[in-house]
Amino acid sequence: MASGTVVLSPHFDDAVLSCWHVLEPGEATVVTVFGGVPEPGVLGWWDRLTGAVDSAARMEERRREDAAALSLAGAQSLALDLLDQQYRSNGSVPALAPALEEATRDAEVVYAPVGLFVSFDHELVRTAAVGLDRELRLYADHPHIGVWGLPGWVTGAESDPVLDVDGAWRGAMCDARLDPESLTAHVHPLDDATFERKLEAVRAYATQIPALECEAPLDQLRWEVAWIS
């Protein structure tokens, strides 16, 4: 059970990748939702992609990486014993609502992924978080949300003349039954020193970096976005 500010991280690394401006003050707790360890002998598709030979061993490795990264932010952590989608059989869906209700019972503010263009797990966390009776803020989950770049209103640069990234974001939000007109986006650009500290923490996730960089360049992590209703 966590109090104060809680960042719901679907997997180990999502909070650091996306919410450094929330974590670095050292007053937040990261709740990793799908932090369960599968049975020995299991090998999930993402783990295989990133070079693992056994998912149980990889999850223990990712727990150590996460502890190292969060120590740099001074954040507290709590990992729930729920299995990542790659370890769940027959399309089963865990009961997130009661688990998140208990984990955030004393929270004042909860940050949850907006869950656009990403795995089903991110969508599950967002949906469950929207149902909580908490002050909720939705964060742009890097690097997945930046797979086609970031809108000009986020970076301050000219928007891509060919790709309407902002339109894609808004359309995906509507598809997720989120009303972009009722949400106010707050952009948190990190200055050079803060960004370097964030990158140091991100590099702690050594098993994940090669795959994550294939989705979007790490430079996009300089800009963090949170929506408030």
* Residue 82 three-state SS: coil
Higher-confidence position of 10 and 161: 10
Residue 186: both structure tokens together: 């707050």
Higher-confidence position of 199 and 118: 199
Write down the architecture of domain 3-228 according to CATH. Answer: 3-Layer(aba) Sandwich (3.40)
Q: Strand runs (DSSP E) across 42-118, as ranges?
A: 76-79, 106-113
Q: What is the pLDDT of residues 173-190, one digit of tens each?
A: 999 999 999 999 999 999
Per-residue pLDDT at 1 exceeds 70: no
In the structure, how many helices (H) and strands (E) does the chain have? Answer: 10, 7
Domain ranges of the chain: 3-228
Q: Label residue 108 by pLDDT band (50, 70, 90).
A: very high
Cβ-Cβ contacts under 8 Å for 131 (sequence gap 6 or more): 97
**What pLDDT is recorded for position 49?**
97
Q: What is the pLDDT of residues 205-214, one digit of tens each?
A: 999 999 999 9
Q: What is the pLDDT of residues 136-170, one digit of tens each?
A: 999 999 999 999 999 999 999 988 889 999 999 99
